[in-house]
Amino acid sequence: TILGIMRDAAVYMTPLALLDTFMVKRYCGVDPREWDIRRQDWIQTTRALPIPPPTVAQLAYEVIGSIILYDALFFLIHLTLHKSRFLYTLLHAYHHEHDVMHAHVTNQLTVGERIVLVLAANQALKILYSHPMSRAAFVPVFIFLLTDNHSGYDLPWGLQHIIPGHVMGGPRVHHAHHMLGTRHYQPFFTYFDSLLEWWEGRGRHRVKAC
């Protein structure tokens, strides 16, 4: 419903708005003395931004690199949420409470999981010292990938069919995760899941050998 969408938007935006209002963001390339000046005001109305813009190569590197880093970080978080019954019930079970897969499931998150997701994405950007313009470009790419995963449509022009080597999971793989909940913990890629499956299979083989 419209009311539900407005409620979800408020829940999603409120913590971000509070952080933007009261926190001094320290971007790479800004004189640290500027941050000290900003800290004197408890409400932040503007940002101290680096003067030179990123090159096209830098922007592509930081956006793609941050997506890859986020994918690795959230794989570990997601795996932990599924392996811990307490954390799964507290933070993640709500995301799996749906009859069919559709785009709105993307935003079906507890407040706790939403905060973890945002912090993981922000940490990936911070690791690469991403330019604010790269951060701005990262957001629509990130949201597109998440929404596409939960859309329920495995379209022939999806990245999982364009990028060779089956390194991208896509909606079909993520749908399998939502149905089974025991595989496919990476949000976008597949290599850590393949490694985990190999490791668990190796463990089962050892048990049988004993």
Query: What are the distances in angstroms from CA 150 to CA 73, 95, 96, 168, 188?
Result: 19, 11, 11, 14, 11
Per DSSP, 11 falls in state: H
Token code pair at residue 206: 């050892």
Where is pLDDT greater, at 201 or 102? 102
| Amino acid, single-letter form, for residue 29 | G
Give the pLDDT of residue 175: 92
Name the percent of the chain lying above pLDDT 70: 96
> In whole angstroms, what is the distance from residue 121 CA to residue 64 CA?
12
Indicate whether 204 pLDDT > 80.
Answer: no
Cα 24 to chain centroid, rounded:
23
Mind listing the pLDDT tens digit for each residue in 10-39?
877 887 788 888 888 888 888 888 888 888
**Could you give the residue ranges of the DSSP H alpha helices within the chain?**
2-22, 32-39, 56-83, 85-87, 111-127, 132-149, 159-162, 170-180, 191-209
pLDDT digits (tens, 9 = 90+) for 42-81: 888 888 889 889 999 999 999 999 999 999 999 999 999 9
Cβ 173 vs Cβ 187: under 8 Å: no
Burial class (CB in 10 A: 0-12, 13-18, 19+), 24: middle
CA nearest 23: which of 32, 15, 13? 15
**73 token code pair:** 């970080």
Q: Report the SS3 class of residue 88.
A: helix
Inter-residue contact 159 to 168 (CB < 8 Å) = yes
Residue type, 51: I
Which residue is listed with tokens 């190999």?
A: 198
The confidence score (pLDDT) of residue 108 equals: 87
Residue 168 has φ and ψ, to the nearest 5°, of -100, 140
Q: What was the pLDDT predicted at 33?
A: 87
Question: Looking at residue 209, what is its pLDDT?
Answer: 54
Q: How far is CA 49 from CA 65, 137, 173, 193, 202, in A?
A: 21, 16, 39, 38, 50
Q: Which residue has the higher pLDDT, 34 or 137?
A: 137
